[in-house]
Amino acid sequence: MDLNDKIVADTWAKSFSSAKDLPKQLTSDHRSFTSFNNQQQQKKWEVSSILDYNNRIQPPFPEFNHTPEAPRNHNSQIKGPDREDMQSNEKPDNKRFQEWDPRVMLNNLSFLEDKIHQLQDLVHLIVGRRGRVLGQSDELATQQQQLITADLTSIIVQLISTAGSLLPSIKHTLSTANPAIGQLGQLGSMLFPPTNSLNGVVLQQNSGGSKVSGQSNQIDLTVNCGTEQNYAAEEHDPKDDDDDADEGENLAPGSYEILQLEKEEILAPHTHFCMICGKGFKRDANLRMHMRGHGDEYKTPAALAKPNKDSSEPMLLKRYSCPYAGCKRNKDHKKFQPLKTILCVKNHYKRTHCDKSYTCSRCNTKKFSVIADLKTHEKHCGRDKWLCSCGTTFSRKDKLFGHIALFQGHTPALPLDETKPSSLPSDRTENNESKLGNIGFNFSASGSGGNAIQNMVDVKGAVDDPAAYFSPLNFDPCNIPGFHEFPRPTFEESDGFFSFPIPGACNYNQKTGGDSGSNDLE
């Protein structure tokens, strides 16, 4: 519950800050990239505004990115006849909204209108096609379905945000009165695709962006959820997920926009900086606590309170791109798979494109670039005692036996501490009989043909000095020369599989099935 609580609070804070920052953002719309980088290096800007900049910079990119998506753009050029219906539906909202900000409202509505027409046309098109070509392949059908759901998602987001901006006072009282419902709704939106009206109502105030029941969105939500569960040990700011979703109006049509952080930003240890002394923090709340030391004006309840997310701005989905060229998570990649949150970006970048600097203190073999991965591994280190001759380790014996039953020639490998005592006397007898040439052969006999364990054992056998067997570090695999070369990639692979279990394997099924796995390989 704690986690959800925080998420709710943070999303609130963000929408609030976004609302405050809106004018500033509008003016700073055309800032250049370089200036942004400078700001980043100086570390003097408040983080939320930095992120705002980031968002402002993006609009050219999404347009650029969305052009290859042929079907959608194609549909967007077709105008539908149902305009009047839409308008009549929207009218009451429209009137009230004009009291707030008519221009923005109009923008919103016209966008919505366009969107709905596009969707209508698309459906028309699909219906027509289906009539002609009966034997349509399933793949195409699902593609179309995805397209529709994506568009629907976008429309619903818009609707919610527009409606939300109409009723700021009501929204405020409701949310403060029922924080539990808000949490519940948030939880529901994270774990399950929200289906009922309650969730819809509540989420409307919290974070419209994460609420939508579109299919692609579901996938991303669950993935996000999974990662959060996996790496809960690491500090992360869920507010990053929903940050500054306030400029959907000017966006090109599309269900999400793509953001790309720079490498330095990804690797920066802190994301919140004190404007006075420049100290960095990982959490906004910590920064606020810190700020109290700078004077009484920061001790007021208003300054200490969580920034209210009172934004009337629409939330458009944010997706992130990895700055590493050629990566599948990079937006220039052919099969680009966006990352859901900044946290995902950070973890992905560290895991995939950075050195592994954290070594497990127990096994001294496995290395990690994300400290949470190390902590997760350390919980299970030494428990993966079931070893196949191919070098793959398993935490459960039945998994090992399933693996062996599946593959020809793989055998269960003995744990290293068991092969040793047996090799010791054989070595002795060898010496007794002065048949030294035999030794490699006999050793290889204990493994199975042509596999990792045999290699390992052979290497052991090749060690001339029998004293090596008696060294105190005997059971440490590191001690054996050549151990590193062979089995480690497979160790890593298995580790990847097990440390990233459900989200990658199950929920990411449609396009990213293998991607999450390959992501964690190196």
Of 39 and 442, which has the nearer Cβ to another protein?
442
Among 27, 98, 136, 422, binds another protein (CB under 8 A): 422
Q: Which of 257, 284, 264, 260 is nearest to 272 (CA)?
A: 284
Residue 405 lies near another protein (rule: CB under 8 A): yes
Q: Mask 210-249, x = binds another protein (CB under 8 A)?
A: ----------------------------------------
Judged by CB under 8 A, the number of residues near another protein is 27
Question: In this chain, which stretch among 81-89, 314-322, 405-413, 506-514 interacts with another protein, using CB under 8 A?
Answer: 405-413
Tokens of 84: 């009047």
Q: What is the C-alpha separation between 302 and 300, in angstroms, rounded?
A: 5
Q: Mask 436-475, x = binds another protein (CB under 8 A)?
A: -----xx--xxxx---------------------------
Handedness of CA 156, 195, 6, 273 (dihedral sign): negative
Among 154, 423, 507, 519, binds another protein (CB under 8 A): 423
Element (H, E) at 203: helix 197-206
Residues pairing with 413 in the sheet? 387
CA distances from 310 to 4, 208, 299 (A): 19, 12, 22
Residue 433 lies near another protein (rule: CB under 8 A): yes
Among 49, 426, 479, 490, binds another protein (CB under 8 A): 426
Q: Mask 348-377, x = binds another protein (CB under 8 A)?
A: ------------------------------
Among 7, 122, 152, 404, binds another protein (CB under 8 A): 404
> How many Cβ atoms are within 10 Å of 318's Cβ, its own excluded?
25
In the complex, minimum distance from the CB of residue 366 to another protein, in angstroms, rounded to a whole number: 23
Of 100 and 441, which has the nearer Cβ to another protein?
441
Q: Which of 151, 328, 161, 135 is nearest to 244 (CA)?
A: 161
Q: What is the C-alpha separation between 518 and 522, in angstroms, rounded?
A: 8
Tokens of 228: 């959060």
**Cβ distance 189 to 210 under 8 Å?**
yes
Residue 429 lies near another protein (rule: CB under 8 A): yes
Site for another protein in 115-144 (CB under 8 A): none
**Cβ distance 207 to 171 under 8 Å?**
no
Of 301 and 382, which has the nearer Cβ to another protein?
382
Question: In this chain, which stretch among 185-193, 243-251, 258-266, 410-418 interacts with another protein, using CB under 8 A?
Answer: 410-418
| Residue with the two structure tokens 């055309």 | 30
Residue 419 lies near another protein (rule: CB under 8 A): yes
Among 123, 360, 381, 414, binds another protein (CB under 8 A): 414
Q: Regarding beta strands 280-281 and 317-321, do their DSSP bridges make them parallel or antiparallel, or are they unpaired? A: unpaired
In the complex, minimum distance from the CB of residue 406 to another protein, in angstroms, rounded to a whole number: 10
DSSP state of 77: T
Of 131 and 449, which has the nearer Cβ to another protein?
449
84 CB burial (10 A radius; 0-12, 13-18, 19+): exposed
Question: In this chain, which stretch among 11-19, 152-160, 240-248, 399-407 interacts with another protein, using CB under 8 A?
Answer: 399-407
Give the E-state strand segments of 111-238 in sequence order: none
Of 63 and 430, which has the nearer Cβ to another protein?
430
Provide the terminal-to-terminal Cα distance of the chain, rounded to the nearest Å: 34
Element (H, E) at 174: helix 168-177
Of 193 and 440, which has the nearer Cβ to another protein?
440
Question: In this chain, which stretch among 169-177, 227-235, 313-321, 411-419 interacts with another protein, using CB under 8 A?
Answer: 411-419
Close Cβ partners of 88 (under 8 Å, ≥ 6 residues apart): none
Q: Regarding beta strands 358-359 and 367-368, do their DSSP bridges make them parallel or antiparallel, or are they unpaired? A: antiparallel
In the complex, minimum distance from the CB of residue 441 to another protein, in angstroms, rounded to a whole number: 7
Of 188 and 447, which has the nearer Cβ to another protein?
447
**Cβ distance 499 to 377 under 8 Å?**
yes
In the complex, minimum distance from the CB of residue 488 to another protein, in angstroms, rounded to a whole number: 22
Tokens of 185: 């709704």
State the residues that interact with another protein by CB under 8 A: 397-398, 401, 404-405, 409-414, 418-419, 421-423, 425-426, 429, 432-433, 441-442, 445-448
